[in-house]
Amino acid sequence: MTSSTDRLAGSPFSGATLGGRYRLGDLIGRGGMASVYRGEDLSLGRPVAVKVFADAAAGIDDVARRRSETALLASVEHRALVRLYDAAHDEAIDREYLVMELVDGRDLRQTLRLGPISAADAAAIAADLGEALHVIHARGIVHRDVKPANVLLAPSHLPTRSWNAKLADFGIARLIDDARLTRTGAYVGTPGYLSPEQVGGRAPGTAADIYSLGLVLLETRTGQQAFPGPASESTMARLVRDPEIPAELGPEWVELLRAMTAREASDRPTALEVAMAAGRLDRVPAMSDAATTVLHEASDATRVLPAGGEATPVATQGAATAATAVLGTNDRSDDAVAARAIAAAMRPAPTRSRRADRAERSERSDDSDTSRRWVRPAIAIVLLAIIAIGAALLIVPSIASSMQPPAAPSEPLPSLPGELGVHLERLDEAVTR
């Protein structure tokens, strides 16, 4: 239970030692059925939370049943569940009590007094509690009293979330006889968070916990109870109407909460489905109106964001790894979320791994080797072609000249008398040799 240091007035059992082992300290929480004390386990020397029940909550003095139920509840272990260490009846104060893990932090009821929490923190709480309910439902345990006071918020050590949520008081209905509670006028569950089947008097199943968790999550987002007012009015209201889920929460939240708070138990999701859906909610950014102009398409397009905020595609660049957003001249919005989203859109794609680079280099090397293997044959072919062409140019004229008919013999020069005739004869002989 929570270890909030707020001290409450009227703590009659402070200083008492229950079962000769658990010394009670300050009163740190109180409800209609029990009071919670900070305690110390004297045997193990560790801090614990001790829940002391009121007189009406009789029913765990059956030693055999108490041991079997305590063993079952103690065996259920999960980071989002408050561990049960022991359960017993103390003869000195004539009260029954539970000894549980002490959680540093405060409960969700105290946190919601300051107003609604962020969508990211609400999604983290939904994931934690959905997973916790999945674990106990798998063991056949129904919580029956999921409410903000039973959700403890331990500070988180991660910067991405504020708290780690833990579900407390699971399985108390198994330890305390429902029949005895009914006879004494007590109620197993809190009126503002009961499921329709619990209000109708039917035995609650695991779907009842989903309905109650839906109301708790709705309150974390709005800061208001879905069914406020007196107990009778609050319990009967859910039989005739569904809780109001504001559309401003976003379509993903509206869809999940509407399914969880369906009046028919068969229409509600399982705890595992809630946890999975909450995990997806945690990855959906809450964006302002100015940031809604950021690109959501998977295609690599260049878009212009005019002053009105509506994005219009103007060009597509298939080689780009991210879309480029261009602000219109009239857009002077300083919205930080929009700026971060646009910067993310313009951020270059992540570098590839060394293995991918090596593979690409290997492929390029193989292609280069293949290309080199074809170079020499190509050069040889070109040279052969040049030689063939040269040979053709030399051989073809020779063949053509050999095929031409012999030239007709030239006619002898006419003989002339005297010295001129002698010179012509000598010239003729020199030419024809």
Show which residues are catalytic: 145
Please state whether beta strands 106-107 and 163-167 pair in parallel, antiparallel, or not at all (unpaired): unpaired
At 127 the three-state DSSP class reads helix
Count CB neighbours of 197 within 10 A.
18
d(CA 270, CA 353): 40
d(CA 20, CA 91): 11
Residues 6+ apart with CB under 8 A from 324: 302, 303, 317, 345, 346
Helix and strand totals (H; E) in the chain: 13, 12
CB 49 within 8 A of CB 38: yes
Write down the residue that tokens 């040889």 correspond to: 380
Write down the residue that tokens 């012509």 correspond to: 424
CB 164 within 8 A of CB 156: yes
Q: Which two tokens stand for residue 194?
A: 């009961």
Q: DSSP letter string over 83-110? A: PEEEEEEETTTTEEEEEEE-BSSEEHHH
d(CA 211, CA 339): 39
At 39 the three-state DSSP class reads strand
